[in-house]
Structure 1
Amino acid sequence: MEISQTVKREIDSLIDIGNKIIQKASQARSTLEGNDLAEVSSWVTRIGQLVRKLYGENSQHFANFDRAISIDSFYSIHSNWYRQIAEVQGIALTINHDIENDLIGSIKGLLQAEIFANFLEIGEHLLSEGYKDAAAVTIGTVLEDGLRELCKRNNISITKPNGAPLTIEPLNTELAKSDIYSKLVQKQITSWAHIRNKAAHGQYSEYDKSQVEMMLLFVQSFAEQHLA
């Protein structure tokens, strides 16, 4: 995933501001106030927003940020108390490292793959317990979410002109049209989408457990090949 120049400019700006704040804090004989304190507050807010957008609130980066800003007297900043500012600056430097070494896309990809794997395990468990219909819906939903993620990665629109989200078959068509995968894979996805739709509409007698098992195997293989 290519990081936009806007994001790169933002992190460069935040690091520059952080350096200035640390310099001011190291020389401050009394607590920072007024415009200096407002600058700290804005800086902290911008870093928090960036961490959320790039990594999400369940990431280690966000946990580190939240821990740093949650300490007592965070904003009582002076020459004897500015370690907390250095910790937040360290998070900004880490983000910059991830961007410069093209790690952001890899992190997001790993997280997305983990989410898909967890839901596929749920589908597999439902199948083993004899709930083929619930399994078909769950596995089909994972497939649709996977197609949507694949579109995002390849700058393919996932919405209609009116803003409504595209469903599984239009997503499938657009991906095949863009040569993200072959026409054969497109046909396979179409067939599994039919089963998901039948399950979602209560047409349970029109497919059997063995077909849902094959559907699971396909989606597992598809996720490993295209979403890992």
Structure 2
Amino acid sequence: MALEDRVRTRIEDLIRDSNRLSAGNDHGQSVDERRRGECSAWLTSAQNVVHIVCQSPTSPYRQKADAVVTKKWGYVIHDGVAELSAVLTNLLRDADAGLLALVADQARAETFDNFLDHAEAYIAELRKNEAGVIAGVVFEDSLRRVCRKQSIAEKGIKLDQLISELTAKGSLSAVKAKRARVAAHVRTKASHAQWDEFDISDVKATIAFSRELVASHLDA
């Protein structure tokens, strides 16, 4: 995933600062209280930026950062700075290689599945309106994420146009495009509380198509 410029800049600043903070004295220690305080503050900032980039609690980067920060370093806290600085360096490399995007998409796919499970539960209770709202939100969010992966500008663009763009690129067949427009219809009407404009079968179709979209493009 492409990092925001300000996030990348902050990571690069932290790595640069670590070059100074990771050095101990002649005995390999940080005995100066002020220096240890700087190292502690650096570790907190580095942990925070890792959490911003890797929002999943199961992310190896996040788990590693947490382990480094919670370790009792004492007079060798500068070693913790060096260790976490190496983590940040590799985090940038993986981000540039697009590897973090794969993890983020898979985490989002799991979230989408959970929401769609809730929508199906509402369907079972014949609560069409609630199910339509949830299914519509998942459909739109997943469709826009697919567009971003395909380098299709989506901000401020209506769903129908995005569906046409994906169809033109071959990401959606004509049949799937038709199903996508049914889902877009549910999303639009549900968001405006126009409950009589769609029925429960439309919501079921939206849930089914959204699951396919997530499985095909976000959970790969």
TM-score bin, normalised by smaller chain: 0.7 to 0.9
> What is the CA distance between 1:222 and its match in structure 2?
1.6
Match of 2:46 in 1: 47
User: C-alpha distance in 1, partners of 2:96/2:105?
Assistant: 17
The more displaced of 115-124 and 22-31 is 22-31
Q: How far apart, CA to CA, are the structure 2 residues paired with 1:16 and 1:130?
A: 58
What are the residue-to-residue correspondences of 1:73-222 with 2, within 5 Å? 78-79=75-76, 81-89=77-85, 91-92=87-88, 95=91, 98-99=94-95, 103-160=99-156, 166-222=157-213
Long gaps (5+) in structure 2: none
1:210 and 1:188, CA in 2 relative to 1: closer, same or farther beyond 3 A?
A: closer
Q: TM-score by structure 2 length?
A: 0.73
Residues 1-16 of structure 1 mapped to structure 2, 5 A cutoff: 1=1
Q: Deviations over 1:45-67 (max 9, x none)?
A: 66345424431274543354345
| Secondary structure of 1:27's aligned partner | coil
Q: Is the 8 A contact 1:32 1:78 kept in 2?
A: no
1:89-133 CA distances to partner (integer Å, 9 max, x unpaired)?
Answer: 353355257458753122112111111111111111111111112
Shift of 1:194: 1.5
Q: Percent identity?
A: 24
* Separation of aligned partners in 2, 1:116 and 1:29: 47
In the alignment of these two chains, the number of paired residues is: 217
Aligned partners of 2:143 and 2:213 also within 8 Å: no
Q: What CA RMSD, in Å, does the superposition of the two structures yield over aligned residues?
A: 3.8
Q: Report the more deviating stretch, 104-113 or 204-213.
A: 204-213
What TM-score, normalized by structure 1, do the two folds share? Answer: 0.71
Q: Distance in 2 between matches of 1:183 and 1:53?
A: 39
Instruction: Give structure 1 stretches of 5+ with no counterpart.
Output: 161-165
Question: Retained in 2: the 8 A contact 1:169–1:193?
Answer: yes
Structure 1 residues 65, 181: closer, same or farther in 2, change over 3 A? same
